[in-house]
Structure 1
């Protein structure tokens, strides 16, 4: 799903879903929409969180972490190896309040490459 499709789903879907999931660049879309969407859990799947900094200089990860302060638990499900989320960045995310789960042996598209492991990584997050 591209960012445009994700935006359509976010704007047309229900507010306060139990889970909102954004893969790769969709993680950026989710980060930008998390305050309006108000999910119980917001999870980036091998997210591209490092790429943007908002106009006011706020990193996207900080935006997601701020949402955690308002009851929206942030998480990341990471491929191993991941070209987007290094082990050092995983530690940074944990330090910001993210629950990080690594799917060993998964490629970037965890949900297509190791579907059962992808689903197992969501266990307990609802």
Structure 2
């Protein structure tokens, strides 16, 4: 499926941005322009079932296939958050970016979290007040965007991820030089996960005090965590 895309900048270097579940390209409203200011042409997708992209059946492999169909091969940088991190890791060999950044990627959802597709799908009905309470560090503009992206989001995407709950989808090794940024604390990348990913060849950086959506919780710290990679 050809995905809806949004771009910033006209630089010679290309950066790709892949959002997490429930979101769309607007989650990168600060990151896209910041990378463009550093000389990138930035391309952000709406995954299938999100934003302005089409609706169909859903699975991690289909999300990844869509990236390959939509985005240019050989970008300078590719960044994926949460589901976007999982999706990017499944597409990275075919996309062949020079560097990849996985922001609190959804590679390992421990069964102890009690998280499942039904729980994710219930987020469709969140109110503005609930979103703000769950994300106390977000700016009001991001809360408004989240409310709108939830309205557009097809919650059936959550059920397309059923087999990922309790599974270990951490890559055996990085296909390209790769950075993992993790929240503090992170429900998806535990300290043990971080140590194991480092052993496998990933660079791992923790953004102190940030929640799961690091780039919205603490934009400045998120950009600082990318030093040497952008």
CA contact 1:78–1:103 (8 Å) conserved in 2 = yes
Computing the radius of gyration over CA atoms, which structure comes out larger, 1 or 2? 2
CA contact 1:32–1:60 (8 Å) conserved in 2 = no
Structure 1 counterpart of 2:72, from 9, 14, 18: 14
CA distance in 2, matches of 1:66, 1:115: 25
CA distance in 2, matches of 1:16, 1:99: 21
When the two structures are aligned, how many residues end up with a matched partner?
Answer: 117
CA distance in 1, matches of 2:222, 2:97: 20
Could you tell me which residue of structure 2 aligns to residue 107 of structure 1?
Answer: 211
Could you tell me which residue of structure 2 aligns to residue 55 of structure 1?
Answer: none
CA distance in 2, matches of 1:105, 1:59: 25
CA distance in 1, matches of 2:229, 2:107: 20
CA distance in 2, matches of 1:25, 1:122: 19
CA contact 1:19–1:42 (8 Å) conserved in 2 = yes
CA distance in 2, matches of 1:113, 1:27: 18
Question: How far apart are 1:66 and its partner, in Å?
Answer: 4.9
RMSD (CA atoms)? 2.3
Structure 2 counterpart of 1:29, from 75, 81, 87: 87
Question: How far apart are 1:9 and its partner, in Å?
Answer: 5.1
Aligned partner of residue 80 in structure 1, secondary structure: coil
Q: Can you give the 5+ residue segments of structure 1 that lack an aligned partner in the other structure?
A: 53-57
Q: Can you give the 5+ residue segments of structure 2 that lack an aligned partner in the other structure?
A: 1-18, 22-46, 51-62, 110-163
Question: How far apart are 1:26 and its partner, in Å?
Answer: 0.9
TM-score (norm 2): 0.46
CA distance in 1, matches of 2:174, 2:217: 31
CA contact 1:79–1:108 (8 Å) conserved in 2 = yes
Question: How far apart are 1:13 and its partner, in Å?
Answer: 2.0
CA distance in 1, matches of 2:68, 2:225: 22
